[in-house]
Chains A and B, each alone.
Chain A
Amino acid sequence: DAKTTQPPSMDCAEGRAANLPCNHSTISGNEYVYWYRQIHSQGPQYIIHGLKNNETNEMASLIITEDRKSSTLILPHATLRDTAVYYCIVRGQGGSEKLVFGKGTKLTVNP
């Protein structure tokens, strides 16, 4: 079973921030939080990952709670091209263990 829980769907207005939550209450100390997104009929694309500090890159920001049991992916100015399924997974960095994806969140950005 997936170690993460995400809402099945969310909507966001174009130009506004999209905040996608993820619960990972059983995360262990050496596990990172990774986010991927999948646009229809394509392979998932890496977005960002983090351990405990907040992270930002050109695509998004990742906010991890202090107890590390949940996180939020923020797309600061959502565009129509951000419509996709977003997956949150936890894993050890550098590990090659079994990786299980949940069903993700279908984000729809509306004009």
Chain B
Amino acid sequence: DGGITQSPKYLFRKEGQNVTLSCEQNLNHDAMYWYRQDPGQGLRLIYYSQIVNDFQKGDIAEGYSVSREKKESFPLTVTSAQKNPTAFYLCASTRTDTGELFFGEGSRLTVL
């Protein structure tokens, strides 16, 4: 079945380490997004990409980096510069004909 796959689902890292979260979609969607969610909060946009080899910063891009070398893949790296990286991370892609967003199941990162 088509969909968005995020991995890993749970991740523990030590402070100061870079971490890369994977997001893969087989929906042939052009646009992809990364959101961060903290407990009891809404979704905040980190980065988004409208097309391969292009991406834009969202509202909270500091301390994060992305790449979009392939249409199917939009990995997010949480760098050591991100001061409070412990959060739930959601990846999404959008269907261009209806505008419907499809979300992955999320990755929960805990920095010890």
A96 at the interface (CB under 8 A from B): yes
B48 at the interface (CB under 8 A from A): yes
Contacting B at CB under 8 A, from A92-111, are: 92-104
* Inter-chain contact A94/B96, CB cutoff 8 Å: yes
Which B residues are in CB contact (< 8 Å) with A41? Answer: 88, 106, 108
* Inter-chain contact B94/A96, CB cutoff 8 Å: yes
Task: From the candidates B41, B43, B48, B99, name the one contacting A49 in the complex (CB within 8 A).
Answer: B99
Main secondary structure of the interface of A (DSSP, over half): loop
Known: A87-B43, A96-B30, A103-B41. A46 touches B101 (CB 8 A): yes
* Inter-chain contact A43/B103, CB cutoff 8 Å: yes
* Inter-chain contact B90/A43, CB cutoff 8 Å: yes
Which B residues are in CB contact (< 8 Å) with A45? Answer: 103
Which B residues are in CB contact (< 8 Å) with A34? Answer: 99-101
B45 at the interface (CB under 8 A from A): yes
B58 at the interface (CB under 8 A from A): yes
* Inter-chain contact B99/A98, CB cutoff 8 Å: no
A57 at the interface (CB under 8 A from B): no
* Inter-chain contact A99/B101, CB cutoff 8 Å: yes
* Inter-chain contact A42/B105, CB cutoff 8 Å: yes
* Inter-chain contact A104/B105, CB cutoff 8 Å: no
* Inter-chain contact A44/B90, CB cutoff 8 Å: yes
Q: How many angstroms from the CA of A91 to the CA of B63 in the assembled complex? A: 27
CB distance from A87 to the nearest CB of B (A): 7
Which B residues are in CB contact (< 8 Å) with A36? Answer: 101
* Inter-chain contact A98/B42, CB cutoff 8 Å: no
Which B residues are in CB contact (< 8 Å) with A92? Answer: 99
Q: How many angstroms from the CA of A101 to the CA of B104 in the assembled complex? A: 16
* Inter-chain contact A99/B103, CB cutoff 8 Å: no
Which A residues are in CB contact (< 8 Å) with B48? Answer: 96, 98-99
* Inter-chain contact A94/B104, CB cutoff 8 Å: no
